[in-house]
Amino acid sequence: MNDRETAVAGRPAPPAPSPGGEGGLRAERVGRLAGGRLVVDGVTLAPRPGETVGLLGPNGSGKSTLLRLLSGVLAPSAGVVVLDGRPLGRTARRTVARRVAVVEQHANTSTDLRVRDVVALGRIPHRRPWTPVSAADGAAVAAALEATGLTGMADRSWHTLSGGERQRAQIARALAQEPGELLLDEPTNHLDIQYQLDLMELVVGLPVTTVIAMHDLNLAAMYCDRLLVLRGGRAVAEGTPREVLTPALIGEVYGVRAEVAQGPGHPVIRFLRQAPARPGGAR
């Protein structure tokens, strides 16, 4: 039963960052072995409260694995992930779920659920067995629907939603968890550009610390406060979009040529056709 876990873990502490940066969710030199290979290798990530951190890197660079380490569904082979100074592996799953919410890349269900039901799933870590839905649960669901602009579709069936609406519903579910940290794995994949921009506006406007794995460098440049670039499981660059997104780094990490212009408040990346001298890209 979950009672014991909660009794041990107690009430989740507020995400108050102490001077040493002890609060919140941090990965310290985490590594993860899969099939004899290090898919994440010595990565440190310590988002500051309220900021949006973009995880960049080509396919297989370890973005998703790093997110799964941060959410605690994978245990690190090396290093440690801590939540408010306590290793995630020694924190009850329910306690973690009340602090850290995750939006996966694909969400699929064969169950017939309304949007309201999907969002209400976010209240599971807050509820106890044998108790009916509380007023706080109802209020959190209503607030999450409102924040994501889904109030009008609350009674629609999940199966009738478009891809963008499904992602919104998943984000609403995550908000209903009332998390301090939100982890998103390529949430704008396969969405029309309008939905991509809508979704990013929504995400960066949320009052939570966000770590978001992304493919699109321009979206990352527009919306993230800070970027962490992975290649082969290692962190190769970290900093503001302006510091990180340089033609040299893009060439090194993605093997493509690009020009970077300093746009209004954020860099703008323009990709170039392959130069004949470098077939197949760098390395």
Site stretch for another protein (CB under 8 A), options 77-85, 104-112, 257-265, 274-282: 104-112
Smallest separation, CB 237 to another protein (Å): 29
Question: Tokens 């649960």 belong to which residue?
Answer: 137
Strand-strand pairing, 78-83 and 25-34: antiparallel
Distance CA 70, CA 68 (A): 5
193 vs 205: CA distance, rounded Å? 18
CB of 177 vs another protein, minimal distance in Å = 8
Task: For tokens 């269900």, name the residue.
Answer: 109
For the record, the structure tokens of 86 come out as 């306590």
**8 A C-beta contact, residue 158 and residue 165:** no
- Told to check if 30 binds another protein by CB under 8 A, we report no
Q: Within 134-193, which residues bind another protein (CB under 8 A)? A: 159, 177
User: Quick check: 10 binds another protein (CB under 8 A)?
Assistant: no
Task: Report if residue 71 touches another protein, rule: CB under 8 A.
Answer: yes
Contacting another protein (CB under 8 A), which of 1, 135, 261, 277?
1
268 strand-pairing partners: 261
Q: Should residue 88 be labelled a site residue for another protein when binding is judged by CB under 8 A? A: no
Interaction of residue 111 with another protein, rule CB under 8 A: yes
Nearest one of 264, 262, 269, 254 to 218, comparing CA atoms: 269
Q: Binding residue for another protein (CB under 8 A) from 42, 49, 93, 251?
A: 93
Count the Cβ atoms, other than its own, within 10 Å of residue 161: 17
**Least spacing, CB of residue 93 vs another protein, in Å:** 5
Query: Is position 98 an interface residue for another protein (rule: CB under 8 A)?
Result: yes
State the DSSP code for 208. S
Q: Using the rule CB under 8 A, is 43 a contact of another protein?
A: no
Q: Between 63 and 94, whose beta carbon lies closer to another protein?
A: 94
Please report whether residue 65 would count as binding another protein according to CB under 8 A.
Answer: no
Q: Is 88 helix (H, G, I), strand (E, B) or coil?
A: helix
Residue located via tokens 């500051």: 48
Interface residue list for another protein (CB under 8 A): 1-2, 71-73, 92-98, 101-102, 104, 107-114, 117-118, 121-122, 124-125, 127, 129-130, 132, 159, 177
